[in-house]
Amino acid sequence: YFLLQNSGGFPKPSLRSNVFVTMVFLGKSVHLSHDGSDYRDEVKVYQQHCGGENLCVYKGKLLEGETFQFVSKRHHGFPFSLTFFLNGMQVERLSCCCEYKHQKRSRLGGRHGYFGFLNVEGASPCYRCIIAMGLDKKPSPPKRKMEDHEEKPVGSWRDGECSEPSKSSVEQKPSKASLLVIIPGHEESVVTLQEKMETGQECSKGE
């Protein structure tokens, strides 16, 4: 309630990535004699959250092939930075843009690396990954739609010359012979041009 009251009713977004990382201890290339019967190695993982000091995110004793997990609390905008210690000695160092780059299985340090990534849950790509995958580009519209849109209507300019309208458009125009001629002052006597032409033809036949 206190958080909701201070943030105006909405919880504040987390500044940390809070990604669940699962890794495997692959073991050492050179095996030294262990004291007693304990064949486990002490593993420590430190993370630089926001460009400051390193904080321990995992500490434990592991056998070769055992998995371990920790939560990455990287601050947004800062790199994913890890330092691995094996029996008190620094053996691996990782610094990349974000946890998303290691969502697939990968081994640190090449063939002779001590650790490997198994799974990364809850990771989202940072801006660099988005650009690398091309997700920031808008998809271009298909060419077919552009060609259909460029179809020219009847009577438009083609190759610098005006094309003639189709016959159907000419037939739709009203003929001059069907126009009415109204003599002012004599509204009763409305004569069409067509009737005049017919009477004129009859007169010529009579003559």
The Cα–Cα gap between 63 and 56 comes to 20
- Per DSSP, the three-state class of 67 is strand
Ramachandran class of 108: left when φ > 0, alpha when ψ lies in -120 to 50, beta otherwise: beta
Domain residue ranges in the chain: 19-29+38-132
| pTM of the entire predicted model | 0.57
**Domain 19-29+38-132: top CATH class:** mainly beta
Q: What is the pLDDT of residues 12-64, one digit of tens each?
A: 556 888 999 999 999 876 555 555 556 899 999 999 988 778 999 999 999 99
Q: What is the pLDDT of residues 119-159, one digit of tens each?
A: 999 988 888 888 888 866 666 666 665 555 555 555 544 55
